Structures are given as structure tokens and as C-alpha cells.
Structure 1
């Protein structure tokens, strides 16, 4: 993998991770407001929150592994 390819992949992974984290926190905030207003959890939104958490963790692991490859990208 060339350095240019590595940088493109790094940029893509960072962008995807940031989007997943932003959507996670937006969903948590929205669920909190709904809970305060309605006093019950929306199970569909809760499952979306769980899914976004799993996606965020998976992307962070993939990003960390990708960063470890930087020395080999010359």
C-alpha cells in the first residue's frame, strides 16, 4: 500500500467514524428528550443507538489497526 493510498483510507475511516459517533450522540440526545417527555423508552430508537455504538466501536478498532500500518506504507 502506498502512502497516498494509506492517507485516502485513513481519511475515509476517520470520516465514517466521526459520522457514526455524531449520529450516536444525536440519537442518545433525542431518546433522552423523548424519555423526559413521554416517560418511556422507544425500543426502536434504543436498538438504533446500540447499533450505532457497535458500528462506532468497530470503526475505531479498524482505524487503530490502520494507523498501526502507517510505518509499512512507504
Structure 2
């Protein structure tokens, strides 16, 4: 893998991770507002929050492994 390819992949992984984290926190905030207003949990939104959490963790692990490839190549 060339340095240019590595940097493109790194940028892509970081972007996807940031988007998943932003969507996770937006969903948590939205769920909190709904809970305050309705006094009950929206199960569909709760499952979306759980899914975004899993996606965020998976992307962070993938990003850390990708960063280790560059560190290991030195």
C-alpha cells in the first residue's frame, strides 16, 4: 500500500467514524427530548442508537488497526 493510498483510506475511515459519532449523539439527544416530552422510550430510536454505537466502535477499531499499519511499516 502506497502512502497516498494509506492517507486516502485513513481520511475515509476518519470521516465515517466522525459521521457515526455525530449521528449517535444526535440520536441520543433526540431520544432524550422525546423522553422528556412523552415520558417513554421510543424503541425504534433506541435500536438506532445501539446500532450507531456498534458501528462507531467497529469503525474506531478499524481506524486503530489502520493507524497501526503505518506505525508498523516504519
Band the TM-score falls in, shorter-chain normalisation? over 0.9
Cα offsets for 1:6-65 (capped at 9, x unmatched): 000000000000000000000000000000000000000000000000000000000000
Write the distance in 2 (CA, Å) between the matches of 1:17 and 1:31.
Answer: 21
1:56 and 1:64, CA in 2 relative to 1: closer, same or farther beyond 3 A? Answer: same
Contact 1:21 1:52 in 2 (8 A): yes
- RCO comparison, higher one (Cα < 8 Å, 6+): 1
- How many residues align? The count is 74
Query: C-alpha distance in 2, partners of 1:73/1:18?
Result: 26
TM-score (norm 2): 0.96
When residues 7 and 73 of structure 1 are mapped into structure 2, their CA distance, relative to the original with a 3 A threshold, is: farther
Distance in 2 separating the partners of 1:67 and 1:33: 37
